[in-house]
Each structure stands twice: as structure tokens, then as C-alpha cells.
Amino acid sequence: LCQTKEQRILDFVLKNAVRGDPQSVIDNIDKYCSQREWSMNVGNEKGIILDNVVKESNPSTILELGTYCGYSAVRICRLLKPGVRFFTVEFNPAYAAVAKQIIEFAGLIDKVQVLEGSTGDIIPQLKKKYEVDTLDFVFVDHWKDKYKPDTQLLEKCNLLRKGSVVLADNVIVPGAPDFLEYVRNCGKYDCTNFPSFLEYMDEKDALEKAVFRG
């Protein structure tokens, strides 16, 4: 019955993880995707770097671009204090449906709003429709050619403040060269590169942290 890889991942989590235990959800997605079918979750090596950047930022309002199956949403929200707000944008309805179930199973759905649609439409709605003032933390993990335009859109919509952290996945593989060039040279960000590895593979990848200067 599980026709898509994403449904098979969900099924494996529902069968093998512990309801209400985010770490077991993360561990089981990693187990399935390293042993059975590769998939584009940020994974555990880059995930540990993500954990550390989230912990040091201690954010209250977080935006994620690219939910996929909800792995990084669970990974980030398991570290957050009660009362924080996490918005995650997913264009693909099938991915969004799986992600909602995985986030729910992890017991984190109260913190998370899965917004279905395109980032270009949703980002301009965050202030008025979703009552966001500014974003403390943005995890960028969607289509790689959207990283730069969507970062510029966040600026244009006044969603970034001094110290807002923009953390981008895959800046080596598949790569986001125009985004890297922009954040490193436009003068508005303090950038740090975190070398790591592509999820479930031995290939080199990296995260880029860009802190908005305000």
C-alpha cells in the first residue's frame, strides 16, 4: 500500500519509533534512510551541527523552508522551550501530509504550523496573517535555486532583525552558489561555514550560517 518512499518512511516510524519521543523518531528515520532507501533529510551529522546552532540561538520564532518529511522540524522543535512558534513551508502536498503525521507522532504538533504552498506566496503573509514580528531563526532547505531570492524576500518583508540566524543546508551538494556569494558579499550578514557530509553518504557537504547585521 505504501506507494511512495515518503509513505514508507512514515510507516517505518509509526511501526518502530516511540509515540511522543522525538529522538526515537529521528533515530528511526535515519535508520530507514541509511539502511533501506536514501532520502533528503538533513541527517545526523549535519543534524548535530543544526542542533548546536539552534541551542546557541535559543529562538522563539522559527521559520523552515522545505519541510519534506518533517525530520528537521522534529529535530529543531525537540530542543525548543514551550510557547515558541515554528512555521514550516512545504510546496508538495504529499510531503506536507507525511510531515504532519510524523510531527504529530513525535508529539510536537502544538508548536508547529505546516504551511502548504510556495515560499514566495507565504513569506509575505507571515506578518499580517500569521502575526509574526521578526524571525529569530530560519532553516533553509528547499529548492536550492530559491535560497537567494527567498533570503532577499525575507529582508524585503522586514522579517529579519539584528542577530537573526539564517542556516542553510546543502551549500556544497546540490549547492547554492548564488546564495553563498550573496550572503558572503552583500555586507548584511556575518557568515560561518560548517563542513560536514551529505546525509547517509560519504560525500562532502556543508551548512552555512548567515547572521543578519540589522
Ligand X SMILES: Cn1cnc(CNC(=O)c2cc(-c3ccc(F)cc3)cc(O)c2O)c1
Point out which span in 57-65, 78-86, 153-161, 168-176 binds ligand X (CB under 6 A). Answer: 168-176
* CA separation for the pair 49, 169 (Å, rounded): 11
Tell me how far CA of residue 6 lies from CA of 72, 128, 158, in angstroms. 15, 33, 35
Please identify, using beta-carbon distances, which residue of 61 and 170 lies nearer to ligand X: 170
Binding of ligand X at residue 170 (CB under 6 A)?
A: yes
The single-letter code of the amino acid at 198 is L
Binding of Mg ion at residue 169 (CB under 5 A)?
A: yes
Is 178 a catalytic site residue?
A: no
Show the site string, 23-42: x = touches ligand X by CB under 6 A, - = not.
-----------------x--
Point out which span in 4-12, 57-65, 127-135, 166-174 binds Mg ion (CB under 5 A). Answer: 166-174
* CA separation for the pair 57, 49 (Å, rounded): 12
Size of the site for ligand X (CB under 6 A): 12
Find, among 101, 103, 105, 51, the residue nearest to 80 by Cα. Answer: 51
- Show the cell assigned to 107: 508529539
* CA separation for the pair 65, 59 (Å, rounded): 16
For residue 105, the partner it binds in Mg ion, ligand X, none, with Cβ less than 5 to 8 A by kind, is none
Binding residue for ligand X (CB under 6 A) from 30, 136, 141, 150?
141
Task: Write out the catalytic residue numbers.
Answer: 141, 144, 169-170, 199
Footprint of ligand X (CB under 6 A): 40, 66, 68, 141-143, 169-170, 173-174, 198-199
Footprint of Mg ion (CB under 5 A): 141, 169-170
